Amino acid sequence: MTKEIIDNDPYKSAGVDIEAGNNLVDKIKNDVASSHGPNVLGNIGGFAGMFKLDKDYDNPVLVACTDGVGTKVALAQETNNLSHIGQDLVAMCVNDLIVCGAKPLFFLDYFASSKLDVDEAAVIIKSIAKACSDSGCALLGGETAEMPGHYVGNNFDLAGFSVGCVDEKNILTNKLIEAGDILIGIESSGPHSNGFSLIRKIISESDLSSEKFNMITDMALKPTHLYPSLIMQLLVNHKIHGMAHITGGGLTENIPRSIPKDLSVTINKKAWDMPEIFLWLQENGNLKEEDMYRVFNCGIGMVLIVNKNDAALIQKDISDHGYKNFIIGEVVNKDTDYPVKYF
């Protein structure tokens, strides 16, 4: 393509740079390919990605999730801290997949911007590819869109889509959960990707020095933990009765999604120390304790529901994988309208 043709490109005059998109593909193709294993057929550049299922499933069930990172993107842009936002995107999807026992197979991303910044987009997609590799899945494809006039200023948004597989006989339901089961809480890295509209509001309304602002935003932007490798290993070695990924809605709303309607849970708030970022948000946002547990994960990113006799061994395995974990409560017979009681 000659320079004259590029300069006279009518699409570019409308704000869409096709050449920039091609440059991005060239820049990310090695990162994308690094997440591919023998199940991926073909490579980046086709119209669709192809993934071959292994033959070790008797009755394979595909499981799919989609999510974004919400307004965490806005805080990452404001602080020019984009190196891990791709991990957040992958984590929000694959952490949901594993709750039903599915192994993540592949991931697709959608990146839409007002004007494509090739270097910026490459950093984000590199983070997505690495997070896919760390989760044992392939970055199978994606879409990049420039939409000037729709996104205002130098703005972008992300969405992710993941597909996993589980043998039908191994699908994790709530049928095994019973009164007396123990809740093991696995640490979060911070707010993960939830509650950021409130987080940004509290930060903007606080009189912070530059040093304090950097400290708070660094804590808030810590990348979301990727739980699949840990959970898949636990499922091989232990009997897990149920799981809950603690996302929007916090402990209060997510744990009831994983237990039978005739049961509830009690949670011991003293079982773990609430991380500093949450204490700061509570104090500076003047938030009630009940709102904290309903909006944020408060330091617990994943909850396992297990037989009390198995809890000690499972906790040891989690610790051996480098995650802090705590006995945070138990399953009880439901005697009120409240599925979660704190004490």
Do 24 and 164 share a domain, yes or no? yes
Size of the chain, expressed as the number of residues it contains: 343
Query: What is the spatial distance between Cα 144 and Cα 132, in angstroms, rounded to a whole number?
Result: 18
The residue segments making up the domain with residue 231 are 182-342
Q: Report which of residues 149 and 10 the model is more confident about.
A: 149
- Please calculate the CA angle 61-95-70 and round it to the nearest 5 degrees: 120
Quote the pLDDT of residue 203.
Answer: 97
* Reported pTM: 0.88
* Token pair 């550049």 in the structure block, residue: 45
Quote the pLDDT of residue 23.
Answer: 66
Per-residue CA distances from 210 to 207, 283, 325 (Å): 10, 19, 33
Quote the pLDDT of residue 1.
Answer: 44
177: in domain: no
302: in domain: yes
Q: Which of 16, 95, 23 is nearest to 301 (CA)?
A: 95
Quote the pLDDT of residue 338.
Answer: 81
Do 166 and 186 share a domain, yes or no? no
Do 210 and 136 share a domain, yes or no? no
What would the DSSP string read from start to end of 18-68?
HHHHHHHHHHHHHHHHTT--TTEES-TTSSS-EEPPPS--SSEEEEEEEE-
Q: Is 282 helix (H, G, I), strand (E, B) or coil?
A: helix
Quote the pLDDT of residue 178.
Answer: 96
73: in domain: yes
Band (pLDDT 50/70/90 cuts) for residue 4 is very low
φ and ψ of 196, to 5 deg = -75, -20
Q: Report which of residues 5 and 82 the model is more confident about.
A: 82
Do 159 and 243 share a domain, yes or no? no
Do 152 and 217 share a domain, yes or no? no
Do 255 and 304 share a domain, yes or no? yes
Least confident of 120-124, 196-200, 234-238: 120-124
The CA dihedral of 29, 228, 48, 20, to the nearest 10 degrees, is -40
Which of 145, 170, 195 marks a domain boundary?
Answer: 170
Give the number of domains in the chain. 2
Q: Are 105 and 39 in contact (CB under 8 A)?
A: yes
pLDDT in tens, 122-168: 899 999 999 999 999 999 988 888 888 787 778 889 999 999 999 99
